[in-house]
């Protein structure tokens, strides 16, 4: 084909041009295809259905905003965080509220597994835990009632402390609510995937994985931070989410806007 176009005699050009002209004439004279129903085009005439409002977004209990009053239990626990931490900071010589393998297992001071959740090492440690604690404490209580928060949250935190001190040296002191916080986030993500029925299952799972990586994956690693407590709380929170909740509460704290 290429050699004919370069032929000096022009025979190739005389051979190709009539065929090209016939092809072009046939396509220009052909009638345009009929418009497909619903396809926008020059011959499309709008119908009244085109001006109807879009269907409303599917509604479920988990995609609405909870009543602001449902944040009160989280605020109460947050106030306890401050009181217990201030007591520990202002009385360094007093027996602290921390937990350790020696104190809990050796001396049977099991109450420390709970009190260690409310005391923090410094203001920075406390403020770092505050935003997520308040948000997820608010949501868990609003949608699932006191069984989710504070009951399940405290159980998750206590168990995560028990698991953590088992792997630490006997005299290592553990304090802070990070394990409980990671468990609360995991608990919420599990019940979201299970009960948010307005989205496909794969979309819910993808959102849960993305949120967990965005909120919980550490960007820096510090020697004094207990990543064992984070992992233990997250795993226990997932387990509690699978075995502990059948669906959002229908009788408590669900006055939605």
Q: Phi/psi at 19 (nearest 5 deg)?
A: -65, -40
127 within a domain of the structure (yes/no): yes
pLDDT at position 246: 67
Q: What is the Cα–Cα distance from 120 to 252, expressed in whole angstroms? A: 32
179 is written with which tokens? 């394990």
Parts of the chain with a pLDDT under 50: 1-16, 20, 23, 38, 251-257
Question: What's the domain range around 227?
Answer: 61-244
The pLDDT value recorded for residue 36 is: 54
Residue 20: inside a domain: no
Q: Could you write out the three-class secondary structure of 222-254? A: CCCCCHHHHHHHHHHHHHHHHHHCCCCCCCCCC
Inside any domain, residue 16? no
Q: Which of 67, 68, 63 is nearest to 207 (CA)?
A: 63
Non-local (6+) Cβ contacts of 64 within 8 A are 256, 257
Rounded CA separation 182/133 (Å): 9
Report pLDDT for 255.
Answer: 37
Q: Where are the alpha helices (DSSP H) in 145-226?
A: 153-166, 178-195, 201-216
Q: Residue 177 domain-assigned?
A: yes
- Give the pLDDT of residue 124: 92
Q: Is 99 helix (H, G, I), strand (E, B) or coil?
A: strand
Which single residue is written with the structure tokens 């602001």?
68
pLDDT of residue 159: 97
Give a yes or no: residue 23 inside a domain: no
Phi, psi of 168 (to 5 degrees): -105, 160
Q: How many CB atoms are closer than 10 A to CB 186?
A: 24
**Contact between residue 233 and residue 183 where contact means Cβ atoms under 8 Å apart:** yes
pLDDT value, residue 18:
52
In 3D space, the residue among 183, 181, 207 whose CA is nearest the CA of residue 194 turns out to be 207
- Would you state the structure tokens that stand for residue 212, as one six-digit string? 């967990």
Q: Are 184 and 215 in contact (CB under 8 A)?
A: no
Q: How far apart are CA 218 and CA 206, in angstroms?
A: 19
In this structure, what CATH number is given to the domain that contains residue 109? 1.20.1540
Q: Is residue 56 part of a domain?
A: no
Write down the pTM of the prediction: 0.75
Report the Cα 233 to chain-centroid distance in Å.
Answer: 16
**CA–CA distance, 157 with 160 (Å, rounded to integer):** 5
Q: Give the count of domains, the chain.
A: 1
Query: φ, ψ for residue 94 (rounded to 5)?
Result: -75, 160
Does 40 reside within a domain?
no
Percentage of residues in the chain with pLDDT exceeding 70? 77
CB of 121 within 8 A of CB of 175?
Answer: yes
**Token representation of residue 110:** 């099991």
In a domain, 110, yes or no: yes
């Amino acid at each position: 084909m290429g050699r004919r176009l370069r032929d000096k005699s022009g025979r190739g050009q005389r051979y190709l041009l009539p065929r090209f002209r016939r092809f072009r004439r046939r396509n220009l004279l052909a009638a345009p295809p009929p418009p497909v129903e619903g396809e926008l085009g020059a011959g499309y005439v709008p119908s009244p259905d085109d001006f109807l409002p879009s269907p409303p977004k599917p509604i479920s209990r988990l995609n609405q905003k909870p009543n602001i009053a449902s944040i009160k239990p989280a605020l109460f626990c947050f106030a306890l965080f401050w009181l217990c931490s201030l007591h520990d900071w202002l009385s360094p010589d007093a027996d602290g509220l921390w937990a350790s393998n020696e104190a809990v297992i050796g001396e049977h001071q099991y109450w420390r597994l709970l009190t260690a959740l409310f005391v923090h090492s410094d203001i920075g440690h406390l403020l770092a835990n505050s935003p997520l604690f308040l948000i997820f404490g608010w949501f868990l209580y609003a949608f699932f009632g006191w069984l989710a928060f504070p009951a399940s949250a405290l159980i998750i935190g206590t168990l995560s402390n028990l698991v953590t001190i088992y792997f630490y040296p006997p005299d290592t002191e553990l304090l802070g609510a990070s394990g409980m916080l990671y468990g609360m986030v995991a608990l919420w993500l599990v019940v979201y995937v299970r009960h948010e029925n307005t989205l496909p299952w794969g979309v819910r799972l993808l959102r849960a994985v993305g949120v967990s990586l965005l909120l919980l994956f550490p960007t820096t690693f510090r020697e004094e931070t207990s990543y064992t407590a984070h992992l233990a709380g997250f795993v226990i929170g997932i387990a509690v989410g699978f075995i502990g909740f059948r669906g959002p509460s229908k009788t408590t704290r669900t006055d939605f806007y």
